[in-house]
Amino acid sequence: MTKTLAAQLAERNQANRARIPQAALRTLDDATATLVDSGRADTSLAVGDAMPDFTLPDHTGNDVSLSSLLARGPVVVSFYRGGWCPYCSLELRALQTRLEEITAAGATLVAISPQTPDDSLSTAERLELRFPVLSDVGNVVADGLGLVFTIPEPLREVYQEFGIDLPAANGDHSFRLPIPATYVLGRDGTVLWRHVDPDYTRRAEPDDVLAALRAAAAGQPR
């Protein structure tokens, strides 16, 4: 039986925590707890809100607008931190395995991160993704949805120790990232379902995304 994304994430987290030095773990945990306590996730775009239109470049260099996607039907939008994040990679792979089902439900799937287009291309190629991977350089779109936070200085040092070069990946020195978030949008751009969690080790389960799409198609509330 195929493992759920939650199970895969838990296994990865357990393995990571076993090898990361305790001082770095404390820094990671403190930063996550601070973000959870900030309530940022609770004030971001909510069910019933309309996602503003946007136009972003995809990993092949083409501009993609939300309005053009909505013209085809419902849209699933997944905000992730970057290809350097192993939890994001697991999430993107899990979505790719369910892409045919998402498409069969009449929806389009896109993923968005603050990475540069070149890094988005590297992520799409490495993970063999067959859906658009968009670059929200500067976190302009994510910021408008209330998802963006600034990485504290102690955590920046930990990332550097891990070899994570955010300025290079994102093309700026802001050290800002989006909270991982997944939205299911109706044809009019209204949020029908969402998963927004400031704990980066937890992500939307593809089964739940599909359930939301199917419920929307059947005219059922979620």
Where is 133: in which H helix or E strand?
Answer: strand 133-135
Of 88, 95, 191, 209, which is the active-site residue?
A: 88
Q: Is 88 a catalytic residue?
A: yes
DSSP string computed for 58-69: BTTS-EEEHHHH
Residue with tokens 């408008």: 144
Residues 6 or more apart in contact with residue 181 via CB below 8 angstroms: 41, 44, 78, 79, 145, 147, 194, 195, 196, 197
Burial of 94 (0-12, 13-18, 19+ CB in 10 A): buried
- Please state the φ and ψ torsions of residue 220, each to the nearest 5 degrees: -100, 145
In sequence order, what are the beta bridge partners of 65?
55
List residues with catalytic annotation: 88
